[in-house]
């Protein structure tokens, strides 16, 4: 999970809310433009597991941070600040012959403590780190429960994918520099590839895992 900076809502969503009595998420038909907007501001990554997502109904689920159930859920179901783009939330573990459910799919109607699209919550995401084997570790106990127990982000497949994303960068640096010292300039340049400071550029999958590893080498 990485901080998301929300942009302006798509015009279609605002027009629909303004012009429709009893507007509802289910009846809102311009989901294509909504998904496009969410995917773009998330730099093409799932709001929870950070896998790559494309703007299609199969690849992206429009996630409601505050679930749609209940009176409050109904009030917020078309609020852009409450909407995120999540992956399909199902992943096959071929070794164990099981299908892992994670992200929005595992969360269901549970209310999470931290919203990565709320700037007031971004400070709490700093407590997230990744172990060498790809396991998520979190100093914030409430967030630890959210990431691992509710969103199931430390299932074996996601763990392996996070580890592979970081190992790929380690291998690349080893091939390029061998045992030579890597300059701060190189670390800074590399850091730029895993941050979205440059206008919602697309990011590689599991960017936050690699970013935190790179930042541990920057003084």
Beta carbon nearer to Zn ion, 87 or 112: 87
By CB under 5 A, the residues from 86 to 125 that bind Zn ion are 87, 103
Residue 48 interacts with Zn ion (CB under 5 A): yes or no? yes
List Cα–Cα distances, 98 to 94, 157, 205, in angstroms: 7, 11, 23
Interface with Zn ion: number of residues (CB under 5 A): 5
DSSP 77: T
Of 185-204, binders to Zn ion (CB under 5 A) are none
To the nearest whole angstrom, how small is the minimum distance from the Cβ of residue 68 to Zn ion?
19
For Zn ion, the closer of residues 66 and 107 by Cβ is: 107
Minimal distance in Å, beta carbon 171 to Zn ion? 25
Say whether residue 46 binds Zn ion (CB under 5 A). Answer: yes
**Spatial distance between the Cα atoms of 120 and 114, rounded to a whole number of angstroms:** 9
Which C-beta is closer to Zn ion: that of 82 or that of 152?
Answer: 152
For residues 121 and 7, is the Cβ–Cβ distance under 8 A?
Answer: no
Distances (CA, A) of 32 to 29, 39, 43, 106: 8, 11, 16, 24
| Least Å from the CB of residue 36 to Zn ion | 18
With the C-alpha atoms ordered 215, 150, 6, 52, is the resulting torsion angle positive or negative?
A: positive
What is the binding site for Zn ion (CB under 5 A)? 46, 48-49, 87, 103
């Amino acid at each position: 999970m990485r901080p998301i900076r929300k942009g302006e809502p798509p015009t279609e969503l605002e027009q629909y809310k303004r012009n429709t009595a009893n507007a509802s998420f289910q009846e809102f038909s311009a989901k294509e433009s909504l998904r496009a907007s969410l995917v773009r501001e998330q730099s093409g990554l799932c709001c929870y597991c950070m896998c790559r997502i494309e703007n299609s109904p199969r690849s992206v689920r429009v996630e409601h941070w505050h679930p749609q159930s209940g009176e409050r859920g109904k009030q917020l179901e078309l609020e852009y600040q409450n909407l995120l783009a999540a992956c399909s939330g199902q992943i096959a573990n071929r070794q164990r012959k099981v299908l892992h459910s994670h992200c929005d799919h595992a969360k269901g109607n549970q209310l999470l403590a931290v919203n990565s699209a709320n700037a007031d919550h971004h400070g709490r995401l700093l407590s997230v780190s990744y172990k060498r084997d790809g396991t998520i570790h979190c100093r914030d106990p409430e967030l630890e429960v959210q990431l691992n127990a509710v969103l199931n982000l430390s299932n074996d497949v996601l763990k392996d994918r996070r580890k592979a994303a970081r190992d790929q960068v380690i291998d690349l640096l080893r091939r390029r520099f061998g045992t030579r010292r890597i300059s701060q300039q190189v670390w800074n340049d590399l850091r730029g590839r895993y941050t979205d400071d440059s206008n919602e550029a697309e990011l590689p999958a599991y960017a936050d895992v690699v970013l935190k590893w790179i930042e541990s080498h920057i003084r």
